[in-house]
Amino acid sequence: MQHQQKILILDFGSQYTQLIARRIRESKVYSEIQPHNYPLSKIKADRPHGIILSGGPMSVYDNNSPTMSDEIFELGIPILGLCYGLQLIAKKFNGIVEPANDREYGKANIEIISDDVLFNGVDNNSIVWMSHGDYVNNLPKDFIVTSRTKNSPICSFGYTEKKLYGLQFHPEVAHTQFGKKIIENFLFDLCNCNQDWSPKNFIKSSINEIKDKVKDKKVICALSGGVDSSVAAVLMNRAIGNQLICIHVDTGLMRKNESSEIINMFQSNYKLHLISVDASSMFLEKLKNVSDPELKRKIIGTTFIEIFENEANKFSNVDFLVQGTLYPDVIESVSVKGESATIKTHHNVGGLPEKMKLKLIEPFRELFKDEVREIGKDLGLSDNFLKRHPFPGPGLAVRVLGDVTKERLDLLRDADDLFIKELISSGIYDNIWQAFAVLLPVQTVGVMGDSRTYENVLALRAVTSTDGMTADWFKFDYDFLENISNKIIRSVRGINRIVYDISSKPPSTIEWE
Ligand code: XMP
C-alpha cells in the first residue's frame, strides 16, 4: 500500500489548532493533530512530510510550559512553528523571547523583508492575524528575519539549511490575507506533498489499516442510525464484510418509524450482518415513574449497555468495538474533563469497551463532521441520510418531559414527524442545525368546535449552530409557524397548544432535559 502522506501538527493548546488541520486538508493534504509530547518513536514511525508546532496560551518561560522532543530538529523534516511554536524554536536555538510591551491581538500589517519560500506569491505588504503576548527579541544564530510588523520586528524567520521556519502570526485564521498561500507554500514547496487527501483515498487507506488490525477477529458496532456510526459501519463492512456484527437496539425512544427504516436501509443496501433487538418494553418498564432528567439518562445508559453486552456475548472471537468518534468529540471530552460541572450526562456507548474488554476502532478520530459526510457520500449513503439533524442518545425520553409512557411517546412522535416533514417540504431543513418537538407535562384549556378541551402543550425547538456548543434559535417566518401550529393541533389528538422556544444556548441548552 502506498504510504498516506501526512503533515503532523503538534498541539500546544491553541484555540486554532483544529483550524490548522482543516486548512491543510482543504488543500488536499492529510494532516493529523497529536499532543505536543507525542513520542519521537511514533513521529519516526509516522514518517510525516512536515511538522507544524501550533500556537498555545502559555509563555515559553512559564514553569511547566509544554514542549516537545528536541530531536525532531534532527529528523531533516521541514518544521513550521506558529506563534508559540515560533517562540519555542527561537528558545531551543538560543534566541531570546520576551514579553511584549504592546501585546498584539487582531489584525496587523506585515512587511516582508527578505526572500523566503514561505512568502512566494505573497504581497510585500499585507494583513495578518496576531494573538500573542511574547515576541522574539533576539534571533538565534543562523536564522534570518523574513518579515516584520510594527510591534514584532522579528515576525517570521527561517533557517533554510535545517528547514526550520517560524511565523509569529496565524496563517490558519481567515483574516490573514495570504494565509492559504503561505500554508500551501509550506506544504508543496517545502514539504513536497502531493494533493492526495480525498475521501476516496481515505477510504482506501483505512480499509487496509482496518484489515491489518482486525485480521480474522470479529468487530461489533452499535448501529443507532446516527450519521457517524452509520458511516463507520459501512466503512468497516467494506473492509471486513461479515466479520462486522452490527447490533441495533430499538429503545422505543426513537422517532416515528426510525428503527424500521434504519434496519431496512442497511439490510437491503449494504447487506450488513445486522441484529436488531426490540427492547422497547424493557426501557419503558425501567423508566416508569421516573421524571428526573439525569436519572432517565443514567437508566437508559446502563440498560443499553446491558442489552448490547448480552447480544454481543452470543458471539465468540469478538475483540473490537467500532465507534464513530469525531475529532471534536475527542477534544471536547479532553477539555470537558477536569473541573467543569456535569451539565448533562451524555449517553453513548462510552462504558462499553472497558466493561467488555474490547479494543476500540475509531476510524474518524481525526476527522470533522463534514469530512465524515463526504466519506459517507463516497460510500454510497444518500444525501438525505447524511444531512439528518443530530439526535441525542437517550432519544425521545428527554423530549417527553416528566413521566415517559408509550402514549406520550406516540403523541410526540406524530407531532415531531409533522414538524420535520414541514421543514423538509419548505426547503429549510438544511438551514437548521437541529429541530424537534418537546412534549410538556402541562395541560391547558382550549376550545375545539363547541367543546372545551384540556390537553397537552407541545413546544417546538429549532436552532442554528456549528457544533452544538452554542446555539441560536431559528427565525422562522410567521406564516411557517402559523401553518405548522394549525397542522399539529388539527391532526394530533391530545395537543391543543403549541409554543415556540426562543432561547439561545447559553444560557439554555438545546435539549430541554
Ligand atoms: P445540549 O442539550 O447539551 O445538547 O445543548 C447539545 C447537543 O448534544 C445532543 N445531545 C446528546 N447527544 N448523547 C448524544 O449523543 C446525549 O446524551 C445527548 N444529549 C444531548 C443534543 O441533541 C445537541 O445536539
Architecture of domain 406-500: 2-Layer Sandwich (3.30)
CA distance 378 to 200: 7
pLDDT tier at 345, thresholds 50, 70, 90: low
User: What's the pLDDT score for residue 339?
Assistant: 37
User: What's the pLDDT score for residue 343?
Assistant: 63
User: What's the pLDDT score for residue 73?
Assistant: 97
Sketch the domain layout of the chain as residue ranges: 6-190, 199-386, 406-500
Omega within 30 of 0 (cis) for the link into 507: yes
227-241: pLDDT as tens digits: 999 999 999 999 999
Nearest Cα residue to 186 out of 4, 12, 19, 20: 20
Rg (CA), the chain: 27
pLDDT tier at 344, thresholds 50, 70, 90: low
Q: Are the C-beta atoms of 236 and 379 separated by less than 8 Å?
A: no
Asked whether 389 lines ligand 1 (CB < 6 A), one says no
94-108: pLDDT as tens digits: 999 988 877 778 899
Which residue from 325, 332, 510, 512 has its CB within 8 A of the most atoms of ligand 1, so it is best to mutate?
Answer: 510
Residue 506 vs residue 234, higher pLDDT: 234
Active site residue 371: no
CA distance 346 to 310: 22
Say how many residues make up the chain: 513
Asked whether 4 lines ligand 1 (CB < 6 A), one says no
* The three three-digit cell numbers of residue 147, written as one number: 518579515
pLDDT tier at 1, thresholds 50, 70, 90: very low
Catalytic residue chosen out of the listed positions 170, 248, 273, 347: 170
Active site residue 172: yes
pLDDT tier at 452, thresholds 50, 70, 90: very high
In ligand 1, the atom with minimum distance to the C-alpha of 343 is 3
CA distance 245 to 328: 26
177-223: pLDDT as tens digits: 999 999 999 999 999 999 988 889 899 989 999 999 999 999 999 99
**pLDDT beyond 80 at 154:** yes
**pLDDT beyond 90 at 16:** no
User: What's the pLDDT score for residue 259?
Assistant: 95
Please give the distance, rounded to the nearest whole angstrom, from the Cα atom of residue 503 to the centre of ligand 1: 16
Whole-model pTM: value is 0.79
What phi-psi label fits residue 325: left (phi over 0), alpha (psi between -120 and 50 degrees) or beta? beta
User: What's the pLDDT score for residue 48?
Assistant: 97
Please give the distance, rounded to the nearest whole angstrom, from the Cα atom of residue 354 to the centre of ligand 1: 23
Please give the distance, rounded to the nearest whole angstrom, from the Cα atom of residue 435 to the centre of ligand 1: 12
199-386 and 406-500 agree in CATH topology: no
In ligand 1, the atom with minimum distance to the C-alpha of 471 is 5
Active site residue 221: no
Which residue from 346, 463, 513 has its CB within 8 A of the most atoms of ligand 1, so it is best to mutate?
Answer: 346
Nearest CA to ligand 1 atom 12: 392
297-310: pLDDT as tens digits: 999 999 999 999 99
**pLDDT beyond 50 at 338:** no
Backbone angles phi, psi at 187, to 5 degrees: -65, -45
Asked whether 468 lines ligand 1 (CB < 6 A), one says yes
User: What's the pLDDT score for residue 19?
Assistant: 87
Q: What CATH number does domain 199-386 carry, 3.60.60.10, 3.30.420.10, 3.40.50.620, 3.30.2000.20?
A: 3.40.50.620
Please give the distance, rounded to the nearest whole angstrom, from the Cα atom of residue 394 to the centre of ligand 1: 9
Q: Are the C-beta atoms of 184 and 190 separated by less than 8 Å?
A: no
Please give the distance, rounded to the nearest whole angstrom, from the Cα atom of residue 253 to the centre of ligand 1: 15
Asked whether 344 lines ligand 1 (CB < 6 A), one says yes
Please give the distance, rounded to the nearest whole angstrom, from the Cα atom of residue 14 to the centre of ligand 1: 25
349-404: pLDDT as tens digits: 556 777 778 899 999 988 888 889 999 999 999 999 999 999 998 999 999 999 99
Please give the distance, rounded to the nearest whole angstrom, from the Cα atom of residue 511 to the centre of ligand 1: 7
E strands, 95-226, in order: 96-112, 125-138, 144-148, 156-159, 164-167, 218-222
Q: Are the C-beta atoms of 50 and 79 separated by less than 8 Å?
A: yes
Asked whether 25 lines ligand 1 (CB < 6 A), one says no
Instruction: Calculate the alpha carbon distances from 67 to 84, 92, 164, 417 in Å.
Output: 10, 10, 16, 52
pLDDT tier at 341, thresholds 50, 70, 90: low
* The three three-digit cell numbers of residue 117, written as one number: 519560500
In ligand 1, the atom with minimum distance to the C-alpha of 508 is 5
112-146: pLDDT as tens digits: 999 899 999 999 999 999 987 888 999 999 999 99
Asked whether 393 lines ligand 1 (CB < 6 A), one says yes
Query: What average pLDDT does the structure give for the chain?
Result: 92
CATH for 6-190 is 3.40.50.880
Asked whether 388 lines ligand 1 (CB < 6 A), one says no
